[in-house]
Amino acid sequence: MYSLLSTQNLSASFGSTQVLKNIQMDFDEFTVSAIIGPSGCGKSTFIRCLNRLHEEVAEASATGKVLLQGHDIYASDVDPVAIRRKIGMVFQKPNPFPSLSIFDNVAIGLKLAGVRRGAILRETVERSLKLAALWEEVKDKLNSQGTSLSGGQQQRLCIARALAVEPSVLLMDEPTSALDPISTAKIEELMTELKKTVTIVIVTHNMQQAARISDKTAFFLLGEMIEYGETSELFTAPKDQRTERYITGRFG
């Protein structure tokens, strides 16, 4: 039996600089996995390989395999567009479409997939906004611009936008690093709720956050995956010295 999502010998480069080295990881369905590690160690590059966004950067390349339900998403007959519908992403900085309303920001993924029926769109928008715990705050102003919301609300709007197409995996790259503690708490709360329906991979600089929300945690260093295990174990009894040094703040 295979995991929902796994990587085999995944390496990635920008030009001639290799930034990820032979990453081997499995993500089980309906879990939250956190990726921690110092700045520049390749965390973002890693999760951007998982939805094939990495290849959109000029000069970027990757080798190895990423398997979604056992199928290699880098196989030559696979359309990256289809993959990105199954593997959603939330970015570090909230990035709602400035020209679209709150409603359209959430509905756009479905519209891109060809859904036109108003009833379906409305129903999905409402469900997604409720999932993202934003519905109560915006239900009376669905037609105002997405960018008119606060930063924390915008980030939850982006989560709703990603959820609307019902992805099986949600990638989150430091989704709360630009937010205040209250918005952060809201999004963390949300994740425990979300993992009932979607598998989450989250990059975070905040180790307390990783400890609070994740089932498993991976520690990255200089493009390598040093340690990956149950969150409780990794934080209390790390196997690798470098992990221990990092989580106790004695790094460098």
Partner 1 sequence: MRFKLNRKKREVHLGDRVFAFILKVPSVALVLLLVSIAYYLFRNALPVIHKQGWSFVTTSVWDPVNDVYGALPVVYGTVVSSFIAILISTPLSVGVALFLTEIAPTRVGRVVGFLVEMLAAIPSVVYGLWGIFVLAPWLRTTVEPFLAKTMGFLPFFQGAPYGVGMLAAGIILAIMITPTISSISREIFNAIPRVQREAALALGSTRWEMMRLSVLQSARRGIIGAVILGLGRALGETMAVTMLIGNRHEVSASLFAPGSTMASIIANEYAEATSDVHVAALVEVGLLLFAVTFVINSLARLFISRGFRWGAPSNSPGGAK
Residues that bind ligand ATP (CB under 6 A): 14, 19, 37, 39-45, 57
Q: Which stretch binds partner 1 (CB under 8 A): 61-69, 151-159, 203-211, 215-223?
A: 151-159
Instruction: Look at residue 40 and give the partner it binds from ligand ATP, partner 1, Mg ion, none, a contact being a CB closer than 5 to 8 Å depending on partner kind.
Output: ligand ATP
Which residues does 100 contact at the CB level (< 8 Å), separation at least 6?
108, 145, 146
Q: What is the DSSP string of 122-138?
A: HHHHHHHHHHTT-HHHH
Task: State how far the Cα of 11 lies from the Cα of 130, in Å rounded to an integer.
Answer: 38
- From the CB of residue 28, how many other CB atoms can be counted at a distance below 10 Å? 14
Q: Burial level of 60, CB count in 10 A (0-12/13-18/19+)?
A: middle
- Contact between 156 and partner 1 by CB under 8 A: the answer reads no
The answer to whether residues 127 and 98 touch, using CB atoms and an 8 Å cutoff, is no
Closest CA to 164 of 113, 203, 200: 113
Q: Is 175 in the site for partner 1 (CB under 8 A)?
A: no
| Alpha-carbon span 181 to 146, nearest angstrom | 22
48 versus 216: smaller Cβ distance to Mg ion: 48
Q: Which of 32, 49, 53, 234 binds partner 1 (CB under 8 A)?
A: 53
**CB nearer to partner 1: pick between 14 and 97:** 97
Where do we find the tokens 């880098």?
74
Q: Looking at 154, 204, 209, 217, which residue binds partner 1 (CB under 8 A)? A: 154
Footprint of Mg ion on this chain (CB under 5 A)?
44
Residue closer to partner 1 by CB (options 1, 58) is 58
Site for partner 1 contains 91 (CB under 8 A): yes
Task: Kindly state whether residue 88 participates in binding partner 1, applying the rule CB under 8 A.
Answer: yes
Q: What does the block give as tokens for 211? A: 């400890």
| One residue of 122, 144, 151, 192 binding partner 1 per CB under 8 A | 151
Chain residues that interact with partner 1, rule: CB under 8 A: 51, 53, 56, 58, 81-85, 88-89, 91, 93-100, 108-109, 112-113, 137, 147-154, 158, 161-162, 165, 178-183
